[in-house]
Amino acid sequence: MNDELLARVTAWIAGDPDESDRETLELLVRDGATEELERRFAALLTFGTAGLRGPVMAGPAGMNRYTVRRATQGVAAWLQASDVDASRGVVVGRDARRGSEAFNDEVVAVLLGAGIPVYEMPGPLPTPLVAYAVRALGAAAGVMVTASHNPPGDNGYKLYDASGSQIVPPDDEIVERYSAAATTPSLGTRDDPRHHAVPEALLEDYRRHALARFAPPSPSDLAIVYTPLHGVGGATMTALLAEAGYRSVHVVAAQFEPDGRFPTLPFPNPEEPGALDLAIARADEVGADLVLANDPDADRLGVAVRDGANWRVLRGDQIGWLLASALLAEAGPDDVVATTIVSSSMLEAMARAAGVDCVTTLTGFKWIARAGGERRLAFGYEEALGFAVDDRVADKDGMTAALALARLANELALRGQSPLDRLDEIESRFGVHAVDQLALRVEGPGGRARITAMVERLRAEPPSHLGGEPVTEVVDLATGWRGLAPTEGVALLAPPSRVVVRPSGTEAKVKAYLEVVVGPDDRTLAEQRRVARKRLEMIRSELAARLD
């Protein structure tokens, strides 16, 4: 082990408040476990697409009490150096993942020790409630301890500014700089008069507003199965559905209570194959036609709908089109809708027909939430199951999205239709937009470097054709594109096909987002879909071979 690494490890141990983590690192030093120490000390966690995220482990590359303590010192210094009045306080929340309670305690103690008021959630609750509370309380910022849909071994730290939106550059860089320079903090306690519990009345305001906007006009017999995937959305979401008047709501009992081990799921992400299997089985038992699923912090929404004797798990884009078909009709002339560069181009076509401006942003809701500027965001979505259906929450919200989707499904059912019929109507009018995703998980030491190398190789040697169509433009997203800020990735344009390849901002993956547009034309919708699927499969195969 070289002296430089040993010095970094020793300095970290000296400041680490967690006895178990200190012992872990000391044992690794005694054993000469250089490779493992290099993994844990390769780099500090940085603010990615949705804040800090990483494995729960000792060392600066992991989520642990010391990482959280330093990050919160960075937040305190950022607030005190900014134009925002820090005395407005910070909303602090957490989910039920491994370490979340201890990390939440660190956030509270550091902020109070810095003289900043704290508004603490009364227990493990959904992420959208923190974003809502920041705005509702007029707070200076918000912190949510969560890794959302990441694997069970991860945790994370989301940071909201006074707008209730996740922070963007340069604020994330400023927080990171202050965090890196953090020293031993003063720590406060909850008997400090600056400590407050977020009042139940505020949480009730969220529920009341959501119901006023999205409850059906009369009680509904639509049969729904709901699962929170072992997360914190269960109690809140089932109460919302019941109060909205849905009289046939069934839950997946094995996944209902919060459990950070996620015992029935290898990955607690509604996007993952098999994630909704238990919910679909439950739906077959009770004769339901709709499955709704939140991810562990309830900011995402997964949906499955009955298709004859079978089930169809909807892609994020398809859910986005369904929600847009209802919400565009409610948009005002000065409103905007928004989606991202990796989502389908369908929303743009739908918005154009409705006379509503559509903005395309970089990946992540920190950008979507800001897409309107001074104008109201009537609807925003990203293909990764994130949906913003109400502007009182400046982030994605899987609970209000579930209510909005249920209301649409109920309206369709009363007309003898299903969400699949609405999708047919949309694609018949605007063309088949076939989408797919190729994700390659890269684990272990050097994983991030290998992901970077994949993207670099594609940038240096792009394909000349995609699915039989010539590539007309290769866009290096790192230099910016169509007025967007630079971001890591490559876009390959082969009209009417498009591929965007980028490293995941939340997981050890490289992701490719594929879209093929066919029609509208004189062919049947089934034939258009067959042609689109064939072309999409060609592109997927070509890209997989190139990235492997």
Residue at token pair 């929303």 = 347
Assigned token pair, 373 = 């500027």
Distances in Å between the Cα of 493 and the Cα atoms of 141, 305, 457, 500 are 39, 32, 17, 9
Distances in Å between the Cα of 323 and the Cα atoms of 237, 283, 328, 385 are 18, 22, 8, 12
* CA 300 to chain CA centroid, nearest Å: 6
Q: How far apart are CA 58 and CA 61, in angstroms?
A: 8
* Contacting residues for 466 by C-beta, under 8 A, at least 6 apart: 492, 494, 497, 499, 538, 539, 542, 543
Q: How far apart are CA 229 and CA 145, in angstroms?
A: 18
Q: How far apart are CA 509 and CA 452, in angstroms?
A: 10
* Contacting residues for 400 by C-beta, under 8 A, at least 6 apart: 128, 210, 213, 214, 389, 390, 393
Cβ 277 vs Cβ 311: under 8 Å: no
391 backbone dihedrals φ, ψ, rounded to 5°: -80, 0
**Residue from 20, 82, 87, 148 carrying the catalytic annotation:** 148
The secondary structure of 365-394 as a DSSP string is: HHHHTTTTTTS-EEEEEETTTEEE--TTSS
β-bridge pairing 490-494 and 497-503: antiparallel
Q: How far apart are CA 408 and CA 418, in angstroms?
A: 9
Q: How far apart are CA 417 and CA 487, in angstroms?
A: 42
- CA dihedral (363, 365, 368, 374) in degrees, to 10, reads -150
Query: Do you know the residue count of the chain?
Result: 548
Q: How far apart are CA 505 and CA 516, in angstroms?
A: 24
3-state secondary structure of 358: strand
Closest CA to 53 of 131, 192, 187, 148: 148
Please indicate whether residue 100 is annotated as part of the active site: no
3-state secondary structure of 203: helix
Distances in Å between the Cα of 408 and the Cα atoms of 142, 211, 225, 261, 319 are 32, 14, 16, 34, 11
Residue at token pair 């002339």 = 333
Give catalytic residue positions.
148
